[in-house]
Amino acid sequence: MTRKILFEHEGRRAILEEAPAPEIELQEVVKRDPELLPIEDFGMAGPLLVIGRETPLPSGAVDLAGLSRAGDLLLVEFKIGPANPDFRHATSQLLDYGSDLWGMSVEDLERTVALPYFHGRLCPEGSPGHRAGSLEEAARRAWPDASDDDLAACWDRLAGALRSGAFHYVVAAQRFTEPALRTISYLEETSRASFYAVELVRFTGPAGTATEARTVYRPEARAARGAQRIDEEAFLGRIEDPGFRSSLERVLDAPRHLGYRVEWGLRSGAIKVPTPDHPDPLSVGWVSYDSRGNWGRLRNLTLGYLPSSLGIRPSAKEPVDRYLEALSAIPGARPVEASGDTPRGYEFDRATLPPNETAVVSCLAQLAHDLQAPG
């Protein structure tokens, strides 16, 4: 039976009827207007930040890549025909693209996928990514009300997905057969990744045309499969070196009476301090497991700042400059590898933190004092 929708605009009413349309034409509509993708049906927070379109990877060009506000990475492939071979091709392509991205860091994804798209001809003017210099810049445009904590959690979740390959694969087509939907269900149930099927429907009538993207398959119980935030006890419990664990515990605890707090994500924590000119506290340190796959390549204890966060807190600039200068004087302080809007600062590991624990705490205490009485 033909489906119909009622179209109303400025007092005018019209009936639009479902009508076949060329697959390529429907694809272009969604690529131009990715907000049509019903990510809320997927249990994700929007709006979707598009980070790639027809972006070349070793296995081919991914039709659409997007990021949810929570850090979920979506890969979208459009099926170009009604036959099962077309469906199998789209599904296998998605898995190939996932294997290309698996094991990347957030910085790798930014360099190989996001930045080429942001500065390419397919990124429309006025979109959050247009001419953006980093994922962070595009994200702040897409979600202007997101706090530093929100974005830190986003990058944390994205880094975890890249490590584990837990991506969200979306097959979009004008129609799905029952065998195709069963295959998607099978892949969903037997994989750590998530799979979705979205039908693209064209309606036409005297008043014009309309396109709907309708979810016809999504995973069950998304919340039950979501990753949980870690807490301080769990984080410290996974550090094997007892001397490093004890020093880190004392460093996290000592400045709390000065107004500092530690906020935890999926695999790491951010050390934050209030500033007089912004409602959100400023991140001046991070604790992460010793892994190269972490956001910003942060490992162990990193003390420093994020350029975009400091830029909106002018009163903190001089105190933070003095903070970094003091950190640089601590024996064994290792400068972090900074690029784009990743943290600037110094890393302390199991060899360098225990003998310098008092000096590290003194730097944090002096920073808190300087922020309360700048100058």
Instruction: Please give the share of the chain, as a percent, with pLDDT higher than 90.
Output: 36
d(CA 296, CA 159): 9
Residue 190, Cβ density class (10 Å: 0-12 exposed, 13-18 middle, ≥19 buried): exposed
| Mean pLDDT, all residues of the chain | 82
d(CA 165, CA 154): 16
Least confident of 24-28, 302-306, 364-368, 371-375: 24-28
d(CA 5, CA 275): 53
> Is pLDDT at 335 greater than 50 in this prediction?
yes
Rounded to an integer, the average pLDDT of 65-72 is: 92
> Is pLDDT at 77 greater than 80 in this prediction?
yes
Rounded to an integer, the average pLDDT of 220-226 is: 46
pLDDT of amino acid 340: 66
Residue spans of the domains in the chain: they are 4-225, 232-372
End-to-end CA distance of the chain: 74
